[in-house]
Amino acid sequence: MERTIGLLTDVKDLSDLLQGARLDQVQVTPMGGILQLAVGLTRAMLEQQQVVRSGFLRRLKTPWTKCELRFARVKVLTITRVTDQAPDHAPLLACDAISGGYQLTVQASDGLQLTLGMDQLDGRFADLGNPIENP
């Protein structure tokens, strides 16, 4: 699955897709006065859930996959550790329109929070490789 990110609704849809995902790695690259952010994730592929029968019992089997989230044209990047709220309840990805652009937040389950300031949303999401059974 691949998606481009250019609108607030794209971020909202992607946030729903990444619910329960695990943040594996973050890479920030400077490029001519701006930054590029690459985030490696592992997510549940809810769109490929299957019902598995074992005798009289049935259960859902959900494969997982590695994926990558990239944002270009990042003007400001702030990294903080959130300790005063329960990070399990915060969405992994959130975005707000602010005066002069957008503020996007990537929140890991361990409290690591990346806040990106951008004039324009410019991102890409892609699944990498084949589904895996247990991450």
Domain membership flag for residue 97: yes
Domain membership flag for residue 135: no
Domain membership flag for residue 134: no
Measured between alpha carbons, how far is 15 from 49 in angstroms, rounded to an integer? 19
Domain total for the chain? 1
Convert the pLDDT of each residue in 63-102 to its tens digit. 999 999 999 999 999 999 988 765 556 789 999 999 999 9
pLDDT at res. 117? 95
Q: Is the pTM of this model over 0.75?
A: yes
- Domain that includes residue 56, residue range: 2-129
Domain membership flag for residue 102: yes
Helix, strand, coil content of the chain in percent (nearest 5):
10, 60, 25
pLDDT at res. 86? 59
List alpha helices for 52-111, DSSP H.
none
Report how far Cα 21 is from the mean position of its chain's Cα atoms: 7
